[in-house]
Amino acid sequence: MTTLKARIYTTVAAAASLLVMANTASAATASSSFNSTITILSTCTIVSTNTLDFGTTGLLNANVDSAANFDVQCTNGTAYDVQLDAGTTAGGSIATRKMTGGGATVDYTMWRDAGRTLNWGETDGTDTVGGTGNGAAQTLTVYGRVPTQTTPAPGTYTDSVTVTISY
């Protein structure tokens, strides 16, 4: 019987050894890693603009004021300057822009402040609006005025001003 017992013990020990080895082999792993990356560049964009609408009036015998907002968006920490050109109507300038209609014009001005004392033009650091981006859209307001002047013929008068952002 000792031989039989020895064989049983040997068989049981061999089987247990195989089970341990099988469990150890299936629990083995290998791993590695990889990087994720993105490069953010200093960037600005004009998100939206609105019409500077002076409404409807009769005689231009008093100032007609209006304001319009537009949104700019720059990456966080990016310094910018926003410029407004003289418009597309012939004879217009940064100091006095012109709306045209039916061969006549209506003078108007654009300002950086609600008191209409700081002209808005296109010389960075002089008559522009500067800021620093925060990554989200930032709203800027342009304040317009149609000053007292000789009233032209009835009609609709328009101009197109280009907004430029430099950064």
28 in a domain, yes or no?
no
pLDDT, residue 7, reads: 56
H or E segment to which residue 23 belongs: helix 2-26
Contact 36, 125 (CB under 8 A): no
Q: Is residue 151 very low, low, confident or very high in pLDDT (cuts 50, 70, 90)? A: very high
In a domain, 15, yes or no: no
What percent of the chain stands above pLDDT 70?
84
Give the tens place of pLDDT for each residue, 66-122: 999 999 999 999 999 999 999 999 999 999 999 999 999 999 999 999 999 999 999
pLDDT bin (cut points 50, 70, 90) of residue 8 is: low
Q: How many domains does the chain have?
A: 1
Per-chain mean pLDDT for the chain: 90
Instruction: List the domain range (segments joined by +) for residue 49.
Output: 44-166
Residue 27 lies in a domain: no
Residue 123, in any domain of the structure: yes
- Residue 48's CATH number: 2.60.40.1090
Spacing of C-alpha 61 from chain mean position: 39
The answer to the question of residue 12 being in a domain is: no
Query: Is residue 99, in this structure, part of any structural domain at all?
Result: yes
Residue by residue, DSSP assigns 100-131 as EETTEEEEEEEESSTTS-SB--SSTTTSSEEE
- Amino acid type, 131: G
Q: What is the pLDDT of residues 24-34, one digit of tens each?
A: 556 899 999 99
The answer as to whether 121 is a domain residue is yes
Query: Which residues are within 8 A (CB) of 78 and not within 5 positions of it... i.e. 6 or more apart?
Result: 42, 43, 44, 132, 133, 167
Residue 18 has pLDDT above 60, yes or no: no
Query: Which pLDDT value is given to residue 131?
Result: 97
In a domain, 35, yes or no: no
Mean pLDDT of 141-158: 98
